[in-house]
Amino acid sequence: MINVTKPNLPSFEEYAHYLKGIWERNWLTNNGPLVNELELKLKEYLGLNHLLYLNNGTIALQIALKAIGVTKGEVITTPFSYVATTSSIAWEGFTPVFADIDERTLNINPALIEQAITPNTVAILATHVYGNPCDVDAIEAIARKHNLKVIYDAAHCFGTQYKQQSIFAFGDISTTSFHATKLFHTIEGGAVFTQSPELLKTMSHMRNFGHNGPEAFEGVGINGKNSEFHAAMGLCNLAIVNDILKSREEASSLYDEALAGLRVQKPAITTNSKYNYAYYPIVFESEVALLKAVAALNGNYVYPRRYFYPSLNQLSYVHKQSTPVSENISKRVLCLPLYYHMSPEDIRMIARLLLRAQNN
Ligand SMILES: *Cc1c(COP(=O)(O)O)cnc(C)c1O
């Protein structure tokens, strides 16, 4: 059986080495030494001054939305993302307003962001889809002009760079996920990134119930902390993350070669960026062609994912809005299996099945 992803597990001995330390210290969670070490090493690896390690990527989005200092209004967002992008906006009491995507990059279309702005707009929440950077320059210009906050859902972006800088450095706040299905993972986990010392301080209080010392509180907070056990997994995986990135790039080139002749399109990678090969998405000519491909793969125990489907403007709890490009793409897009140490034979087999399904 081949699934769309396979989480990397370090050697048992390597993880056990960290467990031994946890047992010796008897310090399991609450900003422990391994959490601190992971935060330091992540900052070093990413070339960033600030980040807060959290318990998942959805809490990261919720803390980011809470930190911008307004409690209601419209947040302009993309309909082409994982459901957590939209559900976090609704969960925090904001109204999601969708701007359709660019059909080349599959990222939110900046021109349509500007059209969607009303006097009630408070922020833009955009996803760097599949790890491919949004048009951050255009989005920043729009945000400045209209005095809006920008949050990026960079859940797919570990290792992605734009203009030689980590993509996590962009926006007022960036968020990411370190869930087991992501390129770099800590089992469950996530982070927020900001260049602003004020936002950093606000979010660090929010992460820990609003605590400012043991007996004082600074605003409303939540439990966004992560544990020593999760940080230990992160430290193991961070040690090999360059290898993970390289292995995915090689697997993606092999797919490119092996899929020659398949009538599909791939999203265009944004110029001036270094892509992380987090996913291998292909867009079929029609939903019928996609369903035929999925059936052929499933018949051979290969399980790709319709990621992202459905388009998020069709969720039951959002106001009815039409985003034709996202609706159309989400019916035709499929993410093929891609993970660390995926075998070339498996990639060639998947390509053969897809080509055979097309030509049948
Ligand atoms: C995975 C993901 C999330 C949610 O992260 P969790 O760590 O699973 O909570 C949010 N947004 C996007 C785009 C994702 O892919």
Give pLDDT tens digits for 148-203. Answer: 999 999 999 999 999 999 999 999 999 999 999 999 999 999 999 999 999 999 99
Pocket of ligand 1 (CB under 6 A): 56-58, 81-82, 84-85, 127, 153, 155-156, 177, 179, 190
Q: What is the pLDDT of residue 21?
A: 98
Q: How many residues does the chain have?
A: 360
Which tokens hold the place of 56? 């998942």
CA distance 315 to 95: 13
The Å distance, Cα 78 to ligand 1 centre, comes to: 14
The Å distance, Cα 357 to ligand 1 centre, comes to: 32
Q: Which residues does 200 contact at the CB level (< 8 Å), separation at least 6?
A: 50, 52, 194
173-177, strands of its sheet edge to edge = 52-54, 190-193, 173-177, 149-153, 121-127, 74-77, 95-98
The Å distance, Cα 151 to ligand 1 centre, comes to: 14
pLDDT at 311 over 90: yes
Residue 193's alpha-carbon distances to 53, 54, 172, 174, 255, in angstroms, are 9, 11, 8, 5, 33
Question: Coil, strand, or helix at residue 118?
Answer: coil
Residue among 61, 82, 129, 335 to mutate when testing ligand 1 (max atoms within 8 A of CB): 82
Which tokens hold the place of 311? 């388009």
Q: Report the nearest atom of ligand 1 relative to the CA of 60.
A: 9
Residue bearing tokens 């210009």? 141
Q: Report the nearest atom of ligand 1 relative to the CA of 127.
A: 13
What band does 352 get if pLDDT is binned at 50, 70 and 90? Answer: very high
CA distance 29 to 230: 9
Give pLDDT tens digits for 108-135. Answer: 999 999 999 999 999 999 999 999 999 9
**CATH code linked to domain 7-238:** 3.40.640.10
What band does 98 get if pLDDT is binned at 50, 70 and 90? Answer: very high
How confident is the prediction for the chain on average, in pLDDT?
97
Q: What mean pLDDT do residues 258-264 have?
A: 98
Give pLDDT tens digits for 317-327. Answer: 999 999 999 99
Percent of the chain with pLDDT over 70: 100
Which tokens hold the place of 155? 């859940």
Determine whether 11 is exposed, middle or buried from the number of CB atoms within 10 Å of its CB (0-12, 13-18, 19+): exposed
Q: What mean pLDDT do residues 68-95 have?
A: 97
Q: What is the pLDDT of residue 304?
A: 98
The Å distance, Cα 4 to ligand 1 centre, comes to: 16
Q: Report the nearest atom of ligand 1 relative to the CA of 188.
A: 7
Residue among 92, 153, 173, 330 to mutate when testing ligand 1 (max atoms within 8 A of CB): 153
Q: Report the nearest atom of ligand 1 relative to the CA of 84.
A: 10
**CATH code linked to domain 241-359:** 3.90.1150.10
Give pLDDT tens digits for 25-59. Answer: 999 999 999 999 999 999 999 999 999 999 999 99
Beta strands 165-166 and 121-127: pairing type? unpaired
CA distance 162 to 328: 28
Q: Give the other-Cβ count within 10 Å of 334's Cβ.
A: 23
Q: Whose CA is nearest to atom 10 of ligand 1?
A: 84
Q: What is the pLDDT of residue 289?
A: 98
Q: Which residues does 147 contact at the CB level (< 8 Å), separation at least 6?
A: none
> So where are the chain's domains?
7-238, 241-359
Question: Coil, strand, or helix at residue 240?
Answer: coil
β-sheet bridge partners, residue 162? 165, 273
Helix axes 12-25, 228-238, angle to 10 degrees: 140
CA distance 86 to 240: 32
The Å distance, Cα 231 to ligand 1 centre, comes to: 18
Comparing C-alpha atoms, which of 189, 358, 338 is closest to residue 289? 358
The Å distance, Cα 86 to ligand 1 centre, comes to: 11
CA distance 116 to 87: 19
Which tokens hold the place of 234? 């992160």
Q: What is the pLDDT of residue 360?
A: 85
Task: Give a three-class secondary structure readout of 196-217.
Answer: CHHHHHHHHHHHECCECCCCCE
The Å distance, Cα 58 to ligand 1 centre, comes to: 6
pTM: 0.97
